Chains A and B, each alone.
Chain A
Amino acid sequence: MIETLAFWTLFLAFVGAFTAQVARRVQIIRAAPDTFSLDNLPFRVKRFLIDVVMQRRTIAERPAAGLMHAFVFWGFVAFGGYTSIEFLRGLGIVDLTGTGWFAGYRIVLVPFAAAVLVGIVFLLIRRAFIRPVGLGSRVSLESLVIGLFIATLMVTFLLTFQLDEGTAPGHANWWVHMLVILAFLALIPASKHFHLVLSPITVFLKSPELGNLPNLDFEKEQVGLEAVKDLGSKMALDAFTCVECGRCQVNCPAWGAGKALNPKAIILQTQEALLGGDRETRLGAIYSNEVLWQCTTCGACENQCPVGIEHLPILIGARRGLVSNGEAPGYLGAMYNNLERRSNIWGLGYDQRTKFVQSAGLETFDPAKHDVLVWLGCAGAFDADFQKSLRSLFQILRGRGVRFGVLAKEKCNGDPAKRTGNEYMFQELATANIEDLRAAGPRKILTSCPHCVKTIGRDYRKFGYDVDIVHTSVYVEEVTRGVPLTSGAATSTASVPGDAAATAPTQRPREIVTFHDPCYLGRYGGTVDEPRALLSRFGGDIREPERNRDNPYCCGAGGGLLFADKEEEPGSRISDVRFKQLRATGANTVVTACPFCSIMLKGAQASAQAETQFVDLMTFVSSRLHTGDL
């Protein structure tokens, strides 16, 4: 009886400590100015099963540590019933330990306990001795304590098979087990182990769309994030969920190039600021403005996070606040001027686009005459270098009998404005373009610019404009399927539209190439197989670089950084780091599929005085097609 009373006292004390800490955080989350979104439920359920239950994101990047974590996680879930039953008994409510099925349940738990032990010992060694860089420079004492707690729980469970509960050692063993659980409970809300409780919720609440930035409503005088009180509910939840694993950090191209930005630090600084309680603190004082402008919006942090944190809404939201207060860096001011006056990022005269459209023999889009609308984009309309790639594309399309047209006029889609936080300018450009696109009425849009795919395809939907827009790699892969892979003299096949003989691959020796996945294509768009299919179909032997497919290393252009001034930044250029990775493949040809990647990487190549060849995917394909006299 006295023992039950003692247990009750301890139980209430520890559970009370736990509840008080949780309540404080719940209160902070509820004080946020917005609510959680639950759109696309089927996707959320599926992702929950894969990322939480199956631990995909935890395992994918770090297979060994991830699997060990999965052992611990699955063990915890399996032990849920056991722990509850022991608590019910300790509290004197009901004793179910004598039942037959409980005995069976205990036996089932033995392999789980063994797996958890293996897992936690591995993780303890990794944290204390191997010390991966993402986990931070100092060994967290609290993590070691928690690790030892978990090990103790498993050992004390296994000891119940050896020790009789009636004996003093058996009794003590039970008490150790229960006290460790209670101490554990009191420890977790203020530590990164709070992710035990929060991460399933956070993963479920994470937006189905990478880098989801709801439009600002200017009618409601929304100007972006300026102070702690503006942080949203999901942002607060994210801050408390962070498990500090550092996947965001080690995948961040800015951090990788030695810049000050560390996405993990951003989340932990958010947590500290929220718990600090001063809701009027300006965000610039928390993150430092310099750091906020180093993000390329590549999305690696958010995409690799195993606990459902969204970094981009915080980073870009804070940029919005700075832009609204006129605190954007000077180079962006110049670009905004270009967008405002000339509707393109370069500030070039519109006649240059017209000149290109005429010289390439492009027709103005007419839904009655054309199958697809080709969106040129700022690079396609003005960059003579990228126009070569577009001419290749036009050659391929004509060769395959695709009828296409372009808009009479086109403004920048607004990506550089959106990603740098100039929401007002983005909405102006977007609404103007949507009006023109609606008037033109295409069923399908093709573009060689992955930023245009993402912005027009995803961000324009928030204005109610829903159109089928695909990257040219996807479309060209489709229309060149079935092209005979022998010599140019191959006969045409009936199933192929257009004149197949005129577009059969020529016999050229296979060439060793490497492919740089653009972030907005591979990571945002999930388009990773089509470019590779095209390359190998047309004679490329791909040497994969480190960081590829849906987790590429950014070229450094995104988020307005195409225009950034190197001198103002610490560390090396992101483009230089990426160029080295591509060179390390040994391939002499780098194939790109985004005009901005091409600009950045060619710049890096020029600065490195290297002889590496760059070729755009469309040029690679067209140079291997018989295209007659087109």
Chain B
Amino acid sequence: MILVIAEQREGKLNRASWETIAAAQTMGGDIVVLVAGASTAGPAADLAAAQVKEIVTVEHAALEPYTPDAFVAGLQNAITQLSPQYILLPHTYQTRDFAPKLAARMDRSLITDVTLVKIGSSEPVFVRPMFQGKLTADVVPVGQAPHFITFQIGAFRVDAVAKGSAAAPVRALSVPVDASAIREKPEAPFQQAKQAVDLSQAERIVSVGRGIKEQANIQVAERLAEAIGAEIAASRPICDAGWLPMERQVGSSGQTVAPKLYLALGISGAIQHLVGMKGAGTIVAINKDADAPIFEVADYGIVGDLFEVVPAIIEAVKAS
């Protein structure tokens, strides 16, 4: 049996939980999804839509707000009760915090940041990046089950989750957590004011540079962003001129972004800008100057007037 540990905060599921269920479904066999917290009815009901054997809830007041001590204590107990073969988790900050401790406590192997599961005739093989993504390694857990596996965010698709014909049963598991043994005292969560716009989470970004010429022309880029469901961003001069707020600046003195798609409109590609978007999956550059450095990093380059190219793209997107 595969146990997926979903992640929720204040009743809201982390999207990556679905990706982990998708990963579990590729491995085959019975899947049980566990969700832990102070109040889990909402997330459990959501999760029941997936084609899984059952949803297990672990409710305890000490599990919220999150602390590694409470989670390790609670989950260790639940895992012992359920005795799964594999335990799958999304590779979130929270997982990174408690999973190593949990695996070490139970003396079991832990494979992190997995991007692919190879299913053959024997045991599944887990593929994970090494050396900053320069190499990938095939890893097989050794030792006694259960084995802990965490999955890189975005490695599996949310829309790949198979839905069940009927809602999966939800079962509450009674797990004791000794609140007095919790050593961490979490402060109230906060978000830095600077990150009012968090471009780092955006999947698609339309970014404008000096080639946009006038503030009024920014709406051209905004229409494109709207058409493809992207966030709008800019290079330094645009934000310096006040055409877009500073928090939308990408680059070494702005935000660092890693969207799946980065559309650079009229951006020359100064190195300080490039270092802020080097993590983008696909880079499309539109620039009049064929010598612009942006073309050195772009996957697709269009040498041309963005005021002609962008409306054409918008039309094409709408037509499809």
Interface residues of A (CB under 8 A from B): 331, 334, 341-342, 346-349, 379, 382-386, 388, 562-567, 599, 602-603, 606-607, 609
Contact = CB atoms under 8 A, between A and B. Distances in A.
B253 A384 contact: no
B315 interface: no
A599 B272 contact: yes
Given A341-B132, A603-B236, A385 B253 contact: no
Main SS at interface, chain A: helix
B257 to A, nearest CB: 14
Interface string B263-276: 00000111110110
20 contacts: A342-B132, A346-B275, A348-B278, A349-B132, A379-B271, A384-B297, A385-B271, A386-B271, A567-B194, A567-B246, A599-B271, A599-B272, A602-B270, A603-B270, A606-B235, A606-B236, A606-B268, A606-B270, A607-B236, A607-B240
B159 interface: no
Interface in B251-294: 252-253, 256, 268-272, 274-275, 278, 291, 293
B275 A385 contact: no
B296 A566 contact: no
Contacts of A609: 210, 237, 241
A349 B235 CA distance: 22
Name, among B132, B256, B271, B278, the residue most crowded by chain A CB atoms within 10 Å (CB to CB): B271
Contact of B269 (A346, A384, A567): A384
A79 to B, nearest CB: 57
A288 B271 CA distance: 31
Contacts of A347: 275, 278
A515 B191 CA distance: 45
A603 B236 CA distance: 8
A331 B270 CA distance: 18
Contacts of A567: 194, 246
B264 to A, nearest CB: 13
B241 A383 contact: no
Given A382-B271, A385-B293, A606-B237, 5 more contacts: A349-B132, A349-B134, A562-B252, A606-B210, A606-B240
Contacts, number: 62
A566 B237 contact: no
Contacts of B268: 606
Contacts of B278: 346-348
What 9 A-B pairs come out closest when comparing CB atoms? A384-B293, A607-B240, A384-B296, A606-B237, A383-B271, A385-B293, A607-B237, A346-B275, A563-B252
B132 A599 contact: no
Interface string B109-143: 00000000000000000000000101000000000
Contacts of B134: 349
A562 B270 CA distance: 13
Interface string B221-255: 00000000000000111001100001000001100
A538 B298 CA distance: 35
Contacts of A349: 132, 134
Contacts of A341: 132
A75 to B, nearest CB: 53
Contacts of A342: 132
A558 to B, nearest CB: 15
A341 B256 CA distance: 17
Nearest to B251: A603
Contacts of A379: 271
A330 B272 CA distance: 16
